[in-house]
């Protein structure tokens, strides 16, 4: 079991019993901006805004969300890294920004393990492979594999080059021995729109993004990337049931500029954990197929290091490049 999977088990147990981490404030900034490196409206934006609202109420200071999109999250990461380490600027980033971007972008100008400081994990969720049922007749994952072998170079969509969805498609090709064509989009919305229209036959995406379409019968879910079924889709099996090495627990985490004083980092982390465990934040995330998960900075750093090695091996094998 991976460290992230272990943390997920602990998070689910804590959620079930309504546990929350205590907040111990050593220093308090007068205001806080949470930088989200993607446009408004996505999952990370929704999580950041819910967290900000609870933190603002708990701390009695303004806490706002600052969307700084571009280059698959690199622009937002650069902004956090260059901010003063005074507690007034935090970032909420998906795993790919910290793990795969450094392997794919030649000129990031930011080292995620040196220029920013991890505070805590925030959310974990699976990706899901979905098909347009009018285009792909497969009703099970094995039937999808048969379809892909019979139709070489079938297109699959993702929310962007280098994203977790892109790498899920690359992993599927490596593990199943099929050939597919990647179609990157600038975010989940255009990918899902083209899948609905039949422009692409299949896609990988975050479960909370695809879930409304799946429930409405507009898309068919054939597998999730977690090792266990999602409570939101209990009848959809893990891809690992058919391809044992296929695993990807998607996560989001909070970061701060490097150099944040330890007492301030500790107090902000406590406030973040308190807000994340508030039902106002955790309940809607759970309803969307995601689970609040928290960690120590050291645990988050170790996960980043482990996943850089894991994805680095796949990127090398698949010869993935971003121009």
Domain span at residue 231 reads: 126-241
> Tell me, what's the pLDDT at 40?
84
> Tell me, what's the pLDDT at 105?
86
The answer to whether position 310 is within a domain reads yes
> Tell me, what's the pLDDT at 21?
40
Residues of the chain with pLDDT under 70: 1-27, 323
User: How far is residue 135's CA from residue 178's CA, in Å, rounded to a whole number?
Assistant: 18
Residue 54 and residue 277 in contact, taking contact as beta carbons nearer than 8 Å: no
User: How far is residue 102's CA from residue 212's CA, in Å, rounded to a whole number?
Assistant: 32
**Is residue 16 domain-shared with residue 109, that is, in the same domain?**
yes
**CATH number, position 140:** 3.40.190.10
Instruction: Calculate the CA dihedral of residues 244, 245, 250, 256 and round it to 10 degrees.
Output: 150
**Is residue 138 domain-shared with residue 117, that is, in the same domain?**
no
Q: Two tokens at 112? A: 């995620």
Q: Which of 241, 272, 295 is the last residue of a domain?
A: 241
Q: Which of 241, 266, 295 is the last residue of a domain?
A: 241
> Tell me, what's the pLDDT at 19?
44
Distances (CA, A) of 173 to 18, 106, 211: 41, 25, 24
- Looking from the CA of 174 toward its CB, the CA atoms found within 13 Å total 19
**Domain count along the chain:** 2
Interacting residues of 209 by C-beta distance below 8 A, sequence separation 6+: 42, 43, 188, 192
User: How far is residue 48's CA from residue 215's CA, in Å, rounded to a whole number?
Assistant: 25
**CATH number, position 8:** 3.40.190.150
**Is residue 167 domain-shared with residue 204, that is, in the same domain?**
yes
Residue 247 and residue 95 in contact, taking contact as beta carbons nearer than 8 Å: no
CB atoms < 10 A from the CB of 175, how many? 16
> Tell me, what's the pLDDT at 16?
46
> Tell me, what's the pLDDT at 42?
80
Q: Which of 207, 241, 275 is the last residue of a domain?
A: 241
**Is residue 24 domain-shared with residue 159, that is, in the same domain?**
no
pTM: 0.84
């Amino acid at each position: 079991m991976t460290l992230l999977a272990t943390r997920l088990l602990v998070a689910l147990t804590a959620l079930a019993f309504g546990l929350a981490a205590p907040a111990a404030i050593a220093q308090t900034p007068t205001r806080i901006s949470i930088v989200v490196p993607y446009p408004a409206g996505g999952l990370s934006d929704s999580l950041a805004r819910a967290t900000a609202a609870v933190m603002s109420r708990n701390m009695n200071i303004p806490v706002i969300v600052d969307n700084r999109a571009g280059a698959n999250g690199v622009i937002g990461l650069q902004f956090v890294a260059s901010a003063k380490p005074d507690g007034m600027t935090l970032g909420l980033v998906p795993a790919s920004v910290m793990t795969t971007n450094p392997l794919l972008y030649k000129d990031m100008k930011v080292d995620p393990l040196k220029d920013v400081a991890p505070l805590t994990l925030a959310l974990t969720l699976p990706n899901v492979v979905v098909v347009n049922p009018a285009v792909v007749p497969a009703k099970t994952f094995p039937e999808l594999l048969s379809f892909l072998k019979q139709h070489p170079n079938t297109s699959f969509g993702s929310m962007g080059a280098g994203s977790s969805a892109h790498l899920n498609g690359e992993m599927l090709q490596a593990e199943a021995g099929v050939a597919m064509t990647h179609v990157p989009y600038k975010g989940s919305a255009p990918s899902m729109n083209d899948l609905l229209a039949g422009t692409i036959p299949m896609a990988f995406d975050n479960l909370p993004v695809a879930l409304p379409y799946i429930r409405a019968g507009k898309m068919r879910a054939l597998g999730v990337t977690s090792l266990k079924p999602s409570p939101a889709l209990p009848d959809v099996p893990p891809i690992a049931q058919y391809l044992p090495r296929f695993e990807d627990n998607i996560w989001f985490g909070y970061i701060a500029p490097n150099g944040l004083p330890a007492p301030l980092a500790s107090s902000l982390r406590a406030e973040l954990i308190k807000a994340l465990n508030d039902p106002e934040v955790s309940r809607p995330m759970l309803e969307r197929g995601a689970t609040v998960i928290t960690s120590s900075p050291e645990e988050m750093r170790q996960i980043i290091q482990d996943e850089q090695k894991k994805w680095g091996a796949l990127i090398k094998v698949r010869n993935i490049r971003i121009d």
